[in-house]
A and B are shown apart, each in its own frame.
Chain A
Amino acid sequence: MSDAFRTLRMPMSREDARSLRAGDMVLLEGEIVITAGLPTIQRLVACAEEGRDPPIALAGGSLFHLGSYSQEMPAGGLEILYMNPTTSTRFNPLMPRLIRHFGLTAVGGKGGLDTACAAAMREVGCVYLSFLGGGAPLHSAAIRAVREVAYPDLVAHYRLVRLAVEGLGPVTVGIDAHGNSLFETLQAQARDRMEGILATLAASRQDAKGG
């Protein structure tokens, strides 16, 4: 089943990012950085503002809105017990800054990002990837190793985590590096359809009355 999908090496190259189109489905392999925390994203913005290096290198990398439960293993090292995306839109105001400053090539989570983010992504050459919500069993099975965990003072899903993954996905390209966003297209399409939808509702109310 997975053979049908193109596999992309992570962190994604700028070239790969630009080669993708909204609606494409791909698998991911390599290293990704994840967090589900607003405080975490705020700390990363502070790093950008103050010209400090973040605790996990992000330049030219990927940053996904994925939450995970990480814990120390008895024998040392770390393990991730499960992982799943969170709603990206709550990070809307902060993402353009991060995308530009770190020159990210891939961001993602679920539910999409707004126009300002899409504009930053287009400028930089970055895509938004939509992960399956409620996909913890599938996403967790794609984790090969936990490389680093930063911000241990935060609750588990807020920590910044660098992971090695294999066969993660397929994920859907929700926003491509050319300014196309499925989320915006679909909102606009639904808005355009609404007049017709409401007319159909009215007609079926009439039918129900008549019948």
Chain B
Amino acid sequence: MPITYQAVKSLSAQLYDWSLRAVPADTLDGLARALATETHDGARKVLQMMLGSARKAEAEQRYVCSDAGVPVYHVTIGTAARLEGDIKAAISDGFDELVATISPPLLKHVTNPLTNERGYKGRDMPLVTWDVAGGADWVEILCQPKALGSGRWAALETFSFPSLAEIEAYVMKVVMQAGSQHCPPVIIGVGIGGSFDVAARIASKATMRAIGTTNPEPVLAAMEERLLRAVNATGFGPMGTGGDTTALAVHVDYASGHGYTPVAVCFNCWINRRTRARLHADGSVERFE
């Protein structure tokens, strides 16, 4: 069976809708672990409220946050998947359909960067990335609506032949710039190397990895662990009002490059909105997050 325009369109709409009304399981676990070790009273209360807000959202199918973000989709197409119809249009049509039908309505967040006018539509919106998976017969869509509060603090700097010390100091510099403002505890993605755009892409992708998973590369796993401890030693805490929990995870990845080394750092706020599902050749939908 081919994977159709209609299937991609409805899944695009559904993934967005799901992402707004729950906090992913890995993130709830991360928050619960943080609550168990947090020593600051106020911070414990804020973490409890976060868990309460997430539970209430899921139970009553409410939005966790009123900033529903802008639509961001990452699509992976299996090279053995049979496609039918305009898959690219299906994604934006799916978002349009969602805007027209979702209840309660979404706020207008799509912003023209030249005029700051806001609406539901805009150039290149939804923001979509495309990838291929060798041999697979499915299409996978990951939806990660990006909010202003956490999107605002991402940064990238290009170094030449930096040491690990310089790279890690830069991550800490970006953490300091964000300070209390990105709805911590955050998930931090760090992308090192490649080129300007590749480093940014790696950082963004790193935020999508499940919290609690260990980086398969020992060098990166060690770096993630010490950076997480470093970020939490700053003391900004949940909602930036003080505490031991400023980040739930730091995820690092890299690509080889040419000695000029871009380092990209980006954040996802504590609600860590993301949903992911696969459309299979037999017509079934497999939901992961």
A residues whose Cβ falls under 8 Å from a Cβ of B: 23, 25, 67-69, 71, 81-84, 86-87, 89, 110-112, 130, 132-138, 140-141, 155-157, 170, 172, 174, 182-183, 186-187, 189-191, 193-194, 196-198, 200-202, 204-205, 208
Q: Which residues of A contact B179 (CB under 8 A)?
A: 111, 183, 186-187, 190
Contact, CB under 8 Å: B65 / A205: no
Q: Which residues of B contact A137 (CB under 8 A)?
A: 53, 56-57, 60, 62-64
A-B contact pairs, 9 of them (CB 8 A): A23-B42, A69-B104, A136-B57, A136-B62, A156-B108, A197-B230, A197-B233, A198-B168, A205-B168
Rank and list the top 6 A-B pairs by shortest CB-CB distance, nearest first. A111-B181, A133-B183, A81-B104, A84-B66, A137-B56, A190-B234
Q: Does B236 contact A (CB under 8 A)?
A: yes
Instruction: State in angstroms the CA–CA spacing of A186 and B181 once bound together.
Output: 12
A132-B50, A200-B233 known, 7 other contacts, Cβ within 8 Å: A133-B65, A135-B53, A135-B65, A136-B64, A157-B66, A193-B234, A194-B172
Central interface residue in B67, B118, B179, B239, by most chain A CB within 10 Å: B239
- Count of inter-chain pairs, beta carbons less than 8 A: 174
Pick the contact of A111 from B64, B118, B240 — CB < 8 Å? B240
Instruction: State in angstroms the CA–CA spacing of A111 and B180 once bound together.
Output: 5
List CB contacts (< 8 Å) of B204-255 with chain A.
219, 222, 226-227, 229-230, 233-237, 239-242
Central interface residue in A110, A137, A170, A202, by most chain B CB within 10 Å: A137
Shortest distance between the CB of A202 and any CB in chain B (Å): 6
Q: Does B49 contact A (CB under 8 A)?
A: yes
Size of interface on B: residues with Cβ below 8 Å to A: 55
Q: Does B107 contact A (CB under 8 A)?
A: yes
Pick the contact of B53 from A112, A138, A172, A196 — CB < 8 Å? A138
B residues whose Cβ falls under 8 Å from a Cβ of A: 23, 42, 45-46, 49-50, 52-54, 56-57, 60, 62-67, 104-105, 107-108, 118, 148-149, 152, 164-165, 168-169, 172, 176, 179-183, 219, 222, 226-227, 229-230, 233-237, 239-242, 269-271
Contact, CB under 8 Å: B148 / A201: no
Contact, CB under 8 Å: A134 / B240: no
Shortest distance between the CB of B269 and any CB in chain A (Å): 7
